[in-house]
Amino acid sequence: MQHCAFNGYLRYGAVVGCGGGPLLSLSDADLGRELDLAKTAGMRAIRIDVDWSAIEAAKGHQNWTNTDRIINAITSRGMAPLG
């Protein structure tokens, strides 16, 4: 992952702190690979940045498709999304 900061407690499973802004632009294959690597490294949570202007590009019309894709990919690996 591009923006990870391990907190030094890997052996206790308390590692959190990957910024997920770049995750939003990854293909499904690349997203899966990055999250699998994070899981293997002991990550239990992934922080994602949700840009409201991407969700509601036109006033009153919300599109959660990409955000849902990221959340589903994180939770399907047993990790928690933080946002």
pTM for the full predicted model: 0.75
Residue 3 lies in a domain: no
The mean pLDDT of 11-35, rounded to a whole number, is 73
Average pLDDT over residues 42-60: 88
Q: Is 15 among the domain residues?
A: yes
Look at residue 69 and tell me if it is in a domain.
yes
Domain total in the chain: 1
Q: With respect to residue 4, please indicate whether it lies within any of the assigned structural domains.
A: no
Judge whether residue 39 has pLDDT over 60. Answer: yes
Q: How far apart, in whole angstroms, are the C-alpha atoms of residue 25 and residue 70?
A: 10
Is the residue at 5 inside a domain? no
Does residue 2 form part of some domain? no
pLDDT at residue 1, rounded to an integer: 43
10, HSE (Cβ side, Cα atoms, 13 Å)? 10
Residue 38 domain boundaries = 10-82
